[in-house]
A and B are shown apart, each in its own frame.
Chain A
Amino acid sequence: MNQPSSNTDKEPLSVELTEVWKKFPGVVANAGVELAVERGSIHALLGENGAGKSTLMNILAGVYRPDSGDLKIHGRSHQFRNPADALSAGVGMVHQEFRLIPSFSVAENVVLGSAPSVIKTGRVESDVAEMAHRFGLQVNPSQPLWQLSMGERQKVEILKVLWRDAQVLILDEPTTVLTPSEVDELGQILRRMADDGRSIIFISHKLHEISGICDHATVLRQGKTVAKSLPMASTNQDELARLMVGAAPTLPSQQKGPPPGPALLEINNLSALSDRGVNAFSGINFRIHSGEILGIAGVAGNGQRELADVIAGLRPSNGGTLIMNGTDITTESPHHRFKSGLAYIPEDRLGVGLAPRLSITDNAILRVYRQQRKGPFISGDRAKSYCSNIISRFGVKAGNLSGPIAALSGGNLQRLLVGRELDGKPSVVVASQPTRGLDVKGVKAIQDLLIEQRNAGAAVMMISEDLDELLAIADRLLVIEGGALRGEFDPQTASRQEVGMAMLSDKQTPTNL
């Protein structure tokens, strides 16, 4: 580990975290994390999804309490009980999801929660304007928030934290909502704040952005600090990427299925918007063949979730075509797609794939209840026997079948959902993060089911953030980044680092296949 060279001068570090531990049921999110941030510097916090960045920052911002470990701000030990404690010690967080009120003006949003009991609008607006000017945050304090772009809203969030006189600012993936020119502007704003003596912790996945903005980088992997306060001047993107993804463990390759048959799903020049109304992905082309598992690798939020939704018919596309089994299904309903042989295992199991307030039986028959009708009624006997069949075939551990589905554990929920989707012998299976959050046994069970489908001749598309998993079971790997495909890899020969680099950098080399 590299120690910062400037750590020897008298001035205390603005943030010093030592041996921070935080466990959640079933996961150790932080296992003795170390972080040291100098006053007046911009510090990158890097790591893959699940590396423990967010947990650590939530601890620093007072949202979570650590199980153990030391937290010092400007040399003084603190134990934050809530975000207000952290804020009064000078730590403020700019969250990824903005917490702003659309009908309020910029100034009102900035002072919200810390306003004097009598608000003199003119005075507040001029104070906010002055502060905005000092740091180069160009916003009009009297403008209503709903008129602002995402980039401007982020400035309001930053102003909110500055208004509360935060000396340490945490920015959680601040560039995901910004255009490239806004990213440059953000870099300048952050530099001004650092020159003013404040410290900034910048969480990101995008290595090329960090190198332009940050002074130091700390890298987390699997809840541990693998590099502490690396000076950006003495490192490069390759080294950071390697630190983030780790050395490639050579996994035994799973038995490969039959050689791929005809293309069962063709995606031609497909585009769609995200919930925010900007491009989620565009111009995507690929095919999935019978008898293959196509892995889609990428850091969350790069368009893969929307891609899965568009294939399943839950989100409209705004360009391109979807051909399944030779027929154009671009405008077909989700139910029609299911009937033509598309199984969809959504990322959000309880809430999209399953109805949380209904019983296990009710959830099991979601795809077949139309066939289980006797007149207007759903046959209770048929529903029960269908449900017990799914449960025994797919090894779901469930007590009372009329009990609420929400009582099942994560692994059993997923087995039920996957079992239900695979029961109709689909020709195309789209699985979005199908093993996320499951224990080792559950992961194995779901992977085995997908391999079984592949061997039976289905075309399987598997979206995962777990690169090791994809390298182990996929026959072909595509990397998605920034809503475009950035390369195709053969899991047999590709190195973890090679794929990791494609996931993390946005080299403008869109791949058409």
Chain B
Amino acid sequence: MRRPRLSLREQPLPGGQPLAFGIGLAIALFVGILLLLGAGHDPVKIYSRMFEASLGDPNAWSITLNRAIPLGLAGLAVAVAGSMGLWNIGAEGQIMAGAIAAAWVARVGGDWPGFILILMMLIGAVGGGAILAIGPAVARSKLGVNEIITTLMLNEVAIRLVQWLIHGPWKDPDSFNFPLAPMLPDQARLPTLFSRAHFGLLIAAAVIVVASVAVRYTAWGYELRIAGSSEATARYSGISLPKKILTVLVLSGAIAGLAGGIELTGTADRLTETISNGFGFAGIIVAALALMRPSGVAVVAVLFGAVQIGGQSIQTLGVSSSVSTILQAFVLFGAIGAGVLSRYAITFDSESHLTAEAKS
């Protein structure tokens, strides 16, 4: 009897993760063709529209890049924790916490000059995300409480907090009783780079570069990677794990918080319930596709941003936005599958094969 079996390759296939991502994208597009045909649409027309809307001209690029900012930072937050083998599933809530803190700074400093106000808002956002992560971080490092559960649950807390604020104390008196926070002051908007792309792009890029360098080249990042590879090896070499876990989880929350602050000052004009828009969860996918390497999240975030923006654009052609969500899911499935196959080979073992091996 021949049974298929996965066996580890001695060397991963060349190309590795980029190839896996490409294959994932191809599988997703193929599944998309079937879906679109099934729904009675012309796939060529839909796909060319998706491409035009996301990567077709500078304006399309600017929208895609604006989307890539929160995706990239959320992905970075997950990847920094993931480098140490920790799972921050709470980026969604930390983005909201960052946005709340930034909005609070804007309320307090509404008449500050723009540069100071934006700077203080972003610092506040970093603090807000960090504060939401402190609880899970302390619980994990001191008591060993699973951070997946605690970070996940705090997402709910953050969303209720936003709802309470905009329905209650922060409700705009001029909103005709709609649950809306007031508009940000004009000087609290991040400057524009080109078309619609805003300055947050440079901030996010800088943060990703700094984090990548820190993880890859510093002693701090080295200890992080040792601990992520084997906790026993980290203890053996004298690395203090509790301290490391604490700082890394808080840092992860801070990065996600920054994403919330940039989203508020860059694209939103006020604090809303949908400020985090699923970026925190999409960030987990981004980080997974980047194999938890901070250096990989930027590219993945832009591609993922393009898929999301392209998916939104085809709604005007009468295609449900769910198609875009399904495509994103298949990119992930395909890439994970291809990633496994780049590291494992499919072999068939059978009786004849075993006896031949024994005789040789």
- List residues of A whose CB falls within 8 A of some B CB: 21, 23, 65, 67-68, 81, 312, 314, 333-336, 338, 344, 346, 348, 351-358, 362, 366-367, 369-370, 373, 376-378, 380, 407
Q: Could you list 9 further interchain pairs (A-B, Cβ under 8 angstroms) beyond the known A351-B230, A378-B217, A378-B219? A: A65-B354, A67-B355, A67-B358, A312-B236, A353-B236, A355-B229, A356-B229, A362-B226, A366-B226
B352 at the interface (CB under 8 A from A): no
Closest CB of chain A to B91's CB: distance in Å?
23
Closest CB of chain B to A79's CB: distance in Å?
8
Closest CB of chain A to B8's CB: distance in Å?
10
B110 at the interface (CB under 8 A from A): no
| 1/0 contact string of B206-240 vs chain A (CB within 8 Å) | 00000000100111101001101110111111100
A366 in complex: contacting residue of B217, B218, B237, CB < 8 Å: B237
- Contact status B222-A67, CB under 8 Å: no
A358 in complex: contacting residue of B219, B220, B229, CB < 8 Å: B229
- Contact status A353-B355, CB under 8 Å: no
Q: Which residues of B contact A370 (CB under 8 A)?
A: 219
Closest CB of chain B to A304's CB: distance in Å?
18
B222 in complex: contacting residue of A344, A352, A378, CB < 8 Å: A378
Mark out the residues of chain B between 67 and 88 whose CB falls within 8 Å of any chain A CB in the assembled complex: none
B11 at the interface (CB under 8 A from A): yes
| 1/0 contact string of B1-28 vs chain A (CB within 8 Å) | 1000000001100000000000000000
- Contact status A376-B358, CB under 8 Å: no
Closest CB of chain B to A427's CB: distance in Å?
18
Interface residue tally for chain B (C-beta within 8 Å):
25
- Contact status B225-A367, CB under 8 Å: no
A333 CA to B239 CA, complexed, in Å: 10
A351 CA to B230 CA, complexed, in Å: 6
- Contact status B358-A355, CB under 8 Å: no
- Contact status B236-A346, CB under 8 Å: yes
A262 CA to B215 CA, complexed, in Å: 45
- By beta carbon, the residue of chain A nearest B226 is A355
- Contact status B217-A355, CB under 8 Å: no
- By beta carbon, the residue of chain A nearest B233 is A355
Q: Which residues of A contact B358 (CB under 8 A)?
A: 21, 23, 67-68
Q: Which residues of B contact A335 (CB under 8 A)?
A: 237-238
| Interface of B (DSSP majority class) | helix
A-B contacts, 14 listed (Cβ < 8 Å): A68-B355, A346-B236, A351-B230, A352-B236, A357-B228, A357-B229, A362-B222, A366-B233, A369-B219, A369-B222, A376-B220, A377-B218, A378-B218, A378-B222
Q: Which residues of B contact A355 (CB under 8 A)?
A: 225-226, 229-230, 233-234
| Interface of A (DSSP majority class) | loop
- By beta carbon, the residue of chain A nearest B3 is A81
- Contact status A334-B236, CB under 8 Å: yes
A351 CA to B217 CA, complexed, in Å: 22
Q: Which residues of A contact B225 (CB under 8 A)?
A: 355, 357-358, 362
A168 CA to B230 CA, complexed, in Å: 40
A81 CA to B220 CA, complexed, in Å: 49
A41 CA to B55 CA, complexed, in Å: 77
A376 CA to B217 CA, complexed, in Å: 9
Q: Which residues of A contact B220 (CB under 8 A)?
A: 376
- Contact status B229-A334, CB under 8 Å: no
- Contact status A334-B235, CB under 8 Å: yes
Knowing A68-B358, A407-B11, the reply to whether A376 touches B218 (Cβ < 8 A) is yes
Knowing A67-B355, A376-B220, A377-B218, the reply to whether A351 touches B232 (Cβ < 8 A) is yes
List the 10 closest pairs (A to B, CB-CB), nearest first: A335-B238, A67-B358, A355-B229, A357-B229, A355-B233, A352-B232, A376-B218, A366-B237, A355-B226, A355-B230
- Contact status A358-B226, CB under 8 Å: yes
- Contact status A377-B238, CB under 8 Å: no
Q: Of residues A362, A366, A373, which shows the largest number of chain B Cβ atoms within 10 Å of its Cβ? A: A366
Q: Which residues of B contact A348 (CB under 8 A)?
A: 232
Q: Which residues of B contact A312 (CB under 8 A)?
A: 236
- Contact status B233-A353, CB under 8 Å: yes
Q: Which residues of A contact B235 (CB under 8 A)?
A: 314, 334
Q: Which residues of B contact A336 (CB under 8 A)?
A: 238
- By beta carbon, the residue of chain A nearest B358 is A67
A81 CA to B237 CA, complexed, in Å: 43
Q: Which residues of B contact A376 (CB under 8 A)?
A: 214, 218-220
Q: Which residues of A contact B237 (CB under 8 A)?
A: 334-335, 366-367
Q: Of residues A336, A348, A362, A376, which shows the largest number of chain B Cβ atoms within 10 Å of its Cβ? A: A376
A65 CA to B238 CA, complexed, in Å: 43
Q: Of residues B10, B222, B228, B358, which shows the largest number of chain A Cβ atoms within 10 Å of its Cβ? A: B222
A352 in complex: contacting residue of B219, B230, B238, B357, CB < 8 Å: B230
- Contact status A356-B230, CB under 8 Å: yes
Q: Of residues A68, A334, A335, A355, which shows the largest number of chain B Cβ atoms within 10 Å of its Cβ? A: A355
Closest CB of chain B to A311's CB: distance in Å?
13
- By beta carbon, the residue of chain A nearest B236 is A352
| 1/0 contact string of B125-139 vs chain A (CB within 8 Å) | 000000000000000
Closest CB of chain B to A356's CB: distance in Å?
6
Q: Which residues of B contact A367 (CB under 8 A)?
A: 237
Q: Which residues of B contact A354 (CB under 8 A)?
A: 230, 233
A233 CA to B355 CA, complexed, in Å: 40
Closest CB of chain B to A9's CB: distance in Å?
35
- Contact status B354-A67, CB under 8 Å: yes
Closest CB of chain A to B80's CB: distance in Å?
16
Closest CB of chain B to A221's CB: distance in Å?
22
A348 CA to B222 CA, complexed, in Å: 21
Mark out the residues of chain B between 336 and 357 whose CB falls within 8 Å of any chain A CB in the assembled complex: 354-355, 357
A335 CA to B220 CA, complexed, in Å: 16
Q: Which residues of B contact A358 (CB under 8 A)?
A: 225-226, 229
A344 CA to B238 CA, complexed, in Å: 13
- By beta carbon, the residue of chain A nearest B8 is A406
A392 CA to B10 CA, complexed, in Å: 24
A314 CA to B214 CA, complexed, in Å: 28
- By beta carbon, the residue of chain B nearest A373 is B219
Q: Which residues of A contact B354 (CB under 8 A)?
A: 65, 67
Q: Which residues of B contact A352 (CB under 8 A)?
A: 230, 232-233, 236
Q: Which residues of B contact A65 (CB under 8 A)?
A: 354
A358 CA to B168 CA, complexed, in Å: 51
A85 CA to B235 CA, complexed, in Å: 43
Q: Which residues of B contact A81 (CB under 8 A)?
A: 1
A333 CA to B243 CA, complexed, in Å: 15
Closest CB of chain B to A404's CB: distance in Å?
9
- Contact status B218-A314, CB under 8 Å: no
Closest CB of chain B to A383's CB: distance in Å?
9
- Contact status A377-B217, CB under 8 Å: yes
B217 in complex: contacting residue of A333, A346, A357, A380, CB < 8 Å: A380
A65 CA to B3 CA, complexed, in Å: 14
A314 CA to B355 CA, complexed, in Å: 45
